[in-house]
């Protein structure tokens, strides 16, 4: 796994993310959380996120999410979401997001993702190959 810091997902705040005043409309942050998780799987963990869903038949819906907003983000800014894995359970994982613009903290969020069987929606154990990568990442950061 690359780097010596937690994974950082950078994205520009676009017009489609904002309200008429040019501030990010709050539900868009949760979309950015999902994008950060998918890219974290693909880039940092080296696991094809789409492959988990499409090939393994395992989904990772968000069971709980929360966010504290310290300062709004505006159109044109670059939001950096640092992703920290805080818990690996038997069927779920918890990630924290620390969002900043130009090193100024703007938000702190947390999400619990549950591994489910896509056929019936029941929780399933985290696949062993993925669990190993998650535990390594968690130990590093």
- pLDDT at 1 (0 to 100): 42
- Is 2 within a domain? no
116: domain CATH number is 3.10.129.10
Residue 17: is it exposed, middle or buried by C-beta count within 10 angstroms (0-12/13-18/19+)?
buried
Q: Is the pLDDT at 2 greater than 90, yes or no?
A: no
Mean pLDDT calculated for residue range 93-109: 98
Report if pTM > 0.85: yes
Number of domains in the chain: 1
d(CA 62, CA 121): 13
Q: Is the pLDDT at 88 greater than 80, yes or no?
A: yes
- Is 81 within a domain? yes
pLDDT tens digits for 5-25? 899 999 999 999 999 999 999
- Is 1 within a domain? no
Structure tokens at 120: 């019936």
Mean pLDDT calculated for residue range 66-80: 98
Its domain, for residue 74, covers 7-140
d(CA 127, CA 52): 10
């Amino acid at each position: 796994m690359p780097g010596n810091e937690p994974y950082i997902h950078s994205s520009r705040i676009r017009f489609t993310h904002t309200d008429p005043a040019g501030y990010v409309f709050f539900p868009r942050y949760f979309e950015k959380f999902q994008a950060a998780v998918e890219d974290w799987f693909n880039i940092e963990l080296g696991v094809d996120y789409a492959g988990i869903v499409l090939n393994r038949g395992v989904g990772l819906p968000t069971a709980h999410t929360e966010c504290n907003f310290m300062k709004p983000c505006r159109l044109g800014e670059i939001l950096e979401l640092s992703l920290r894995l805080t818990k690996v359970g038997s069927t779920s994982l918890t990630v924290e997001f620390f969002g900043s613009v130009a090193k100024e903290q703007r938000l702190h969020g947390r999400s619990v993702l549950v591994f489910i069987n896509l056929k019936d929606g029941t929780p399933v154990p985290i696949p062993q190959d993925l669990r190993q990568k998650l535990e390594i990442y968690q130990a590093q950061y």
